[in-house]
Amino acid sequence: MKPTKPLILAKKELYTMSNSPAFYGICLFFVLFCSIWLYYLQRYFVMDMASFRPYFASFPLAFILVVPMVTMKSWAEERKLGSVELLLTMPFSEWELVLGKFIASLGVVVLLLLLSLPVPLSILPLGRFDPGVLAGEYAGALFLGASASALGLLLSSLSKNQAGAFLGSAAVLLFSMLINQFTLTLTLPPVVAEGINFLSLAFHFDSFSKGIIDSRDVAFFVITTVLFLFLTTRVILSGKRS
């Protein structure tokens, strides 16, 4: 069975990423950041608790920097090099192009999550941990990474260079991850607080970090991922027409 067009493009993108030293720097940064957060900043062993929630609390923060690094070249570099015009002349629809780059970015996120597995696996024998909760936490991290990657691709398609794509994605992700902190520090009307929480990616990840898979949060991540990808196709299509 021949691979579909998006998978062919995703394979090409992943091959290009794997030949870049920055790719390995991203992987190392993610693993070190999450590990230092757990062992040094959170002082996990002093906390004396059989929960990985402090570990997964670092994932939204790490994604603020990691995801823009992964997605910044996707469209901004193509536009800078002029290769986006070549891509648009190939027998791929705009949706297939966007989906291919999204699969590649999501593949990197999956790799990062796999690289983070040794930390919880090494701690499991030390306490009575619930493997189901751990699975739910990783499911939430995957949904969060998918939505963040789709957002990063959208901002990359709107940028003219890698630096602009990185800074724009990091700024928007920082806002969308931490906006719910305003509801914790400020006294706001319930309707306003609920509206702010609804826009926060980290807020919808919070239930997953407790090992709870809430269908509302799953729906939020799926809808935002599809929405960001759809908007990216509109940006690419508008550039093709101009």
Among the listed residues 134, 136, 176, the one whose alpha carbon sits nearest the alpha carbon of residue 152? 176
Domain count, the chain: 1
Domain of 236, in residue numbers: 5-241
Q: Would you give the distance in Å from CA 213 to the centre of its chain?
A: 18
What are all long-range contacts of 52-58, with beta carbons under 8 Å and residues at least 24 apart? Answer: 52/120, 52/123, 52/129, 52/133, 52/134, 52/137, 53/137, 53/209, 53/210, 55/119, 55/120, 56/137, 56/140, 56/141, 56/208, 56/209, 57/209, 58/33, 58/34
- Note the pLDDT of residue 83: 67
> Terminal CA-to-CA distance of the chain, rounded, Å?
37
CA distances from 30 to 47, 61, 76, 95, 102 (A): 23, 10, 23, 30, 19
| pLDDT score recorded for residue 2 | 44
pLDDT at 113: 95
Residue-level pLDDT at 143 = 95
Q: Give me the DSSP letters along 131-148.
A: HHHHHHHHHHHHHHHHHH
Segment holding 41, helix H or strand E? none
What is the phi/psi pair of residue 10, to 5°? -65, -40
Per-block mean pLDDT, blocks of 10 residues, the chain (242 long): 72 86 92 90 74 87 94 79 69 84 94 93 79 89 95 90 90 89 78 86 87 89 95 81 53
